[in-house]
Amino acid sequence: MTDLVAVWEVALSDGVHKIEFEHGTTSGKRVVYVDGKEEIRKEWMFKLVGKETFTVGAAKTKATINIDAVSGFAYEYTLEINGKSLKKYMENRSKTTNTWVLSLDGVDCRVVLEKDTMDVWCNGKKMETAGEFVEDGTETHFSVGDHDCCIKAVSSGKRREGIIHTLIVDDREIPEVLE
């Protein structure tokens, strides 16, 4: 991997994925790796600029690497996820998901709530959930191993803040992490 020119980490619901890009500016070679697995390999491309599109993760999220000439033989590489720059995508994602990281039985768990669908993911697997309405909002119940988990959704009482989601595992509140 001598032509490695860019590495990105992309947090999706099913986990954090590593995207690596090789660009041989003399041979025109382009290679894309997702989580260490080769997704695209093109040899002897005469056009050194352009784009490579592929999918990432369990939901087959669309990703595109743009290759642009900056000056002379210098190139700029940008990653787009679902048609948005990585920065914009991650900013938007922080509004549409909640993420918690905790240790259960010595294993690190990454729990993600997709607020638009109320889907819950844990370490790359979509969880079976049961939702119920309670006096002050909703509760989404699921299990991780022998642990009872619940995401409580309660109104903040402020329109701009919206709904507050809290993860509770074995009767203790887990702090949210910002990705």
Q: Which two tokens stand for residue 2?
A: 């001598």
Q: Is the pLDDT of residue 21 over 80?
A: yes
Rounded mean pLDDT of 90-104? Answer: 92
d(CA 86, CA 90) in angstroms, rounded, equals 6
Average pLDDT for 87-93: 92
Average pLDDT over residues 134-153: 94
pTM for this entry: 0.83
The model's confidence at residue 67, banded by pLDDT at 50, 70 and 90, is very high
For the residues 62-85, what does the mean pLDDT come to? 93
Strand order in 125-126's β-sheet? 125-126, 119-122, 107-114, 97-104, 176-177
70 alpha-carbon distance from chain centroid: 29
In this structure, what token pair is assigned to residue 113? 């709530």
The secondary structure element, H or E, covering residue 90 is: helix 86-96
Q: Which of 44-48, 57-61, 82-86, 122-126 has the lowest mean pLDDT?
A: 44-48
d(CA 54, CA 92): 21
Q: Is the dihedral of CA 61, 114, 90, 172 positive or negative?
A: negative
SS3 86: helix
Distance CA(34)–CA(60), nearest Å, equals 12
Closest by Cα among 40, 47, 38, 88 to 68? 47
